[in-house]
């Protein structure tokens, strides 16, 4: 399974909350770890401005998927970016054979708009 197929295999709710992906070379190929956005408790608070509320804290468990080693990881990342299903991606390589990818990161506005849609769910 390549990275794009792995993201497409997520449920719609999980895919919409996908916040970042970490990819590392593993003995069997590439291992991708999917991180999902947090949701905070929904409460009214006198310390917050009127109309601002927090949601209940929940977190999806991190998911780990083994990716096809025959396609270079960077090519798989670019294919996911081109697909647009996670918005524009921002990625960097903190060390050789490891990548960190942030979803919905084409601009600060895109990231904020994505976070806003999560709050509406």
Mean pLDDT of all residues belonging to the chain: 83
Q: How many residues does the chain have?
A: 121
pLDDT exceeds cutoff 60 at 103: yes
Name the more confident of 110 and 5.
5
Count of domains observed in the chain? 1
The predicted pLDDT at position 66 comes to: 93
User: Taking a C-beta distance cutoff of 8 angstroms, is the pair 31, 23 a contact?
Assistant: yes
pLDDT tens, position by position, 22-56: 999 988 789 999 998 866 555 555 555 666 655 55
Q: Model-level pTM?
A: 0.77
Instruction: Give per-residue pLDDT as tens, 53-98.
Output: 555 556 677 899 999 999 999 999 999 999 999 999 999 998 888 9
Instruction: Look up the domain containing 115 and give its range.
Output: 3-120
Q: What angle do CA 102, 16, 18 make, to 5 degrees?
A: 35
The residues near 9 (Cβ < 8 Å, ≥ 6 apart) are 1
Sequence-separated (6 or more) residues with CB below 8 Å from residue 112: none
């Amino acid at each position: 399974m390549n990275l794009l197929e792995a993201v497409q295999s997520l449920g719609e709710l999980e895919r919409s909350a996908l916040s970042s992906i970490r990819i590392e070379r593993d003995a069997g190929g590439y291992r991708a770890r999917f991180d999902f956005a947090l949701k905070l408790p929904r409460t009214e608070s006198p310390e917050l401005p009127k109309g601002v509320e927090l949601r209940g804290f929940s977190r999806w468990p991190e998911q780990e998927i083994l990716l096809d080693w025959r396609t270079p990881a960077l090519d798989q990342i670019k294919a996911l970016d081109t697909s647009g299903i996670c918005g524009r991606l921002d990625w960097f390589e903190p060390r050789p054979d490891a990548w960190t990818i942030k979803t919905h990161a084409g601009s600060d506005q895109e990231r904020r708009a994505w976070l806003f849609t999560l709050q509406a769910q």
